[in-house]
Amino acid sequence: MSEPLGARLLPKHFSLVREIAEKGQLSLAASALALTQPAASRMLAEIERLVGVSVFHRTPKGMEPTEVGHAIARRAQTLLEEIREAAREIEAIRRGHAGTVRVGAVTGGAVGYVVPAMQALKEEAEAVDIHVDVAPSDQLVNGLIAGHHDFILGRLPSGFDVRHFDVIGLRIEEVKLLVHHTHPFADTADLSVFDLVHFPWVMQAPGAPVRRAVENVFIANGAPIPPNIINTTSLLVMIALLSSSNAIAPMSREVSDLLCHDARIAGLKTLDMRQLIEVEPYHLITLKGKRMSTIALRLKDFVLTEFRERGRM
């Protein structure tokens, strides 16, 4: 079975037909393509043999494309531009100036480190396509194993063999307690967890690292765990509940700083707590032996730079 016509016509064929159609002379087209006229003539004969019909009419005034010639010339511009664009994209990817990178992170890591790293990368490579997933660590690690992420900022849950991963850096996640600015304790200093037991709380589900950190502070101080808790992973739901009630929501310091930066946006404040609340550290984690693209390595380097500049490596 013979090859289809599309597999036999080459980019050089399209280039020649386009040049002849534009210039009307074989000699001018050959010169534009740095070909000798005999070589261009042989190529045109090859094209006409492949398509099975004449591509140009020879007239006293020059060469005029046939209907088939017009079709090839019309398609040539798009085809050749796509080839040039592909070459530019390949070169940009090779140099680390384009491509796709997928990263997963816990909320504090995403806000505190991935966002500034993305901004730094975009200053170098505007065309890079970045995907960021924010999720609990167990989901992130499963996504890393499945190939959905190039790297993650998270914790290795129990049940995963650390020998299968490269674990870099260490970041302690500090927790702040957020309330609406109208909360009774919004302007009170040196609060104890005992002061907060009887307020409603909005937290992630039991077992989530931030929630465990809060519960551990209550336990360490001999205070009862608040009985009135709404469970949600949605930051928007948390903000809505804080804005419409006296609820308290624990969030990573990076997120609380973002939400409280301009009180006019959400009207939120952090409580002045006597006890420091910290979550177990998270890390930059990659799958051992996995080769990352140049652009993924660049984003990883920017994240590690953020780690080093904040002194937690």
What is the full DSSP assignment across 168-215? EEEEEEEEEEEEETTSTTTT--SB-GGGGTTS-EEEPPTT-HHHHHHH
Task: Please write the tens of the pLDDT for every residue from 43-59.
Answer: 889 888 888 888 888 88
Residues 33, 180 within the same domain: no
Confidence of residue 277 (pLDDT cuts 50, 70, 90): very high
Confidence of residue 221 (pLDDT cuts 50, 70, 90): very high
Residues 133, 205 within the same domain: yes
Q: What pLDDT is recorded for position 171?
A: 83
Nearest to 125 by CA among 91, 88, 98: 98
Residues 73, 107 within the same domain: no
Residue 288 forms part of a structural domain: no
Residues 176, 159 within the same domain: yes
Residue 157 forms part of a structural domain: yes
Residue 44 forms part of a structural domain: yes
| Full domain range(s) for residue 214 | 103-281
| Mean of the per-residue pLDDT values of the chain | 87
Q: What pLDDT is recorded for position 98?
A: 60
| Mean pLDDT calculated for residue range 143-149 | 92
pLDDT at 19 over 90: no
| Mean pLDDT calculated for residue range 121-139 | 89
Residue 313 forms part of a structural domain: no
Structure tokens belonging to residue 31 = 């010169």
pLDDT at 6 over 90: no
Residues 43, 180 within the same domain: no
Q: What pLDDT is recorded for position 96?
A: 59
Alpha helices in the chain (DSSP H): 5-8, 11-23, 26-32, 37-51, 67-94, 107-109, 115-124, 137-146, 209-220, 235-243, 253-260, 263-266, 294-309
Residues 88, 123 within the same domain: no
Q: What pLDDT is recorded for position 94?
A: 65
| Mean pLDDT calculated for residue range 179-189 | 95
Residues 118, 220 within the same domain: yes
Task: Please write the tens of the pLDDT for every residue from 226-243.
Answer: 999 999 989 899 999 999
For 31, residues 6+ apart whose C-beta sits below 8 A from its C-beta are none
Of 94, 115, 145, the last residue of a domain is 94
| Mean pLDDT calculated for residue range 127-138 | 90
How many separate domains does the chain show? 2
Could you tell me the CATH number of the domain that includes residue 76?
A: 1.10.10.10
Residues 118, 195 within the same domain: yes
Confidence of residue 131 (pLDDT cuts 50, 70, 90): very high
Q: What pLDDT is recorded for position 91?
A: 66
Of 41, 75, 94, the last residue of a domain is 94
Residues 145, 245 within the same domain: yes
For 23, residues 6+ apart whose C-beta sits below 8 A from its C-beta are 29, 32
Return the higher-pLDDT residue of 100 and 210. 210
Q: What pLDDT is recorded for position 134?
A: 92
Residues 247, 122 within the same domain: yes
Confidence of residue 313 (pLDDT cuts 50, 70, 90): very low
Residues 58, 125 within the same domain: no
Residues 68, 113 within the same domain: no
Residue 180 forms part of a structural domain: yes
Confidence of residue 1 (pLDDT cuts 50, 70, 90): very low
Do residues 178 and 132 lie in contact, with contact meaning Cβ atoms separated by under 8 Å? Answer: no
Residue 310 forms part of a structural domain: no
Could you tell me the CATH number of the domain that includes residue 151?
A: 3.40.190.290
Residue 299 forms part of a structural domain: no
Residue 301 forms part of a structural domain: no
Of 94, 123, 140, the last residue of a domain is 94
